[in-house]
Amino acid sequence: MQENVQPASRVAAPQEARREFLSGARDITPIALGVAIYGCAFGILAAQTGLNTLHVGIMGTIVFAGGSQIVATNQLLAGAGALAAVLAGVALNLRLLLITASIRDVFAGRPWWQVAFGAHVTADENWALMLAARARGRAVGYPYLLGGGVCLWMVWILSTVSGVVFAAAIPDPKSLGMDFAFTAAFIAIARSLWKGWGDLVPWLVAASVVVLTVKSGAAGPSWALILGGVCGAASAAVFNHD
């Protein structure tokens, strides 16, 4: 185990780091093309809430979390308040605390700004890609993670903003079934988060809490979603689930 961690945690020379960065960006390009599709769908539907290109561009730059942005915007479309929308997005994004914690060796010994930026561009896709590369014996670390993350980040911002621009040319998105694209995009993201049967307990906990909360009338759907996300993330931490 120690042999796999040590090479990835070292600080690579500038030229080597550049090659590793470009390798990460290149390897994630096929995945980024898929991200662009649901990013465009998100942009089209975000426009229905009154968000413009500036709003969506800033959201993608600062938040950079497809699932959370979709959930938050969906809450706004459903008539929930801004606070509920933000909390719903944050709850869904709690899993990233576990993801970054599972690769803490990548950030070891780096200045705070590199840690902060690296964590910001860490997503499910480039995290999984880096772990897969390590499993094949490649000594990849921070530059590789960063290369994949920056590529995804740029693609997400451009595709979501493009979706807003495209929405202006569609008089009635619902007539084309674009309202369902929101749900379809979220299902696609949720499916990509499933890593195997080890995910079953956190998923069941989150789903059960949401259903029980709504059925019991203890809270509305928006707050039930937030509570379910928090409980699911907490159960993942309790069961030491990476």
- Residue 127: name the closest of 157, 147, 156 by CA: 147
How many other CB atoms are found less than 10 A from the CB of residue 117?
Answer: 15
Do 169 and 52 touch, CB atoms closer than 8 A?
Answer: no
* Residue keyed to tokens 């938050």: 72
Confidence of residue 222 (pLDDT cuts 50, 70, 90): low
User: Looking at residue 96, what is its pLDDT?
Assistant: 76
* Residue keyed to tokens 């000594």: 139
What percentage of the chain carries pLDDT values higher than 70? 74
pLDDT at residue 152 tops 80:
yes
Give me the chain's average pLDDT, please. Answer: 78
User: Looking at residue 6, what is its pLDDT?
Assistant: 42
Do 212 and 238 touch, CB atoms closer than 8 A?
Answer: no
Burial grade of 109 (CB within 10 A; 0-12, 13-18, 19 or more) = exposed
Mean pLDDT, range 29-33, rounded to an integer: 89
Residue 97 to residue 225: CA distance in whole angstroms: 18
pLDDT at residue 144 tops 60:
yes
User: Looking at residue 172, what is its pLDDT?
Assistant: 66
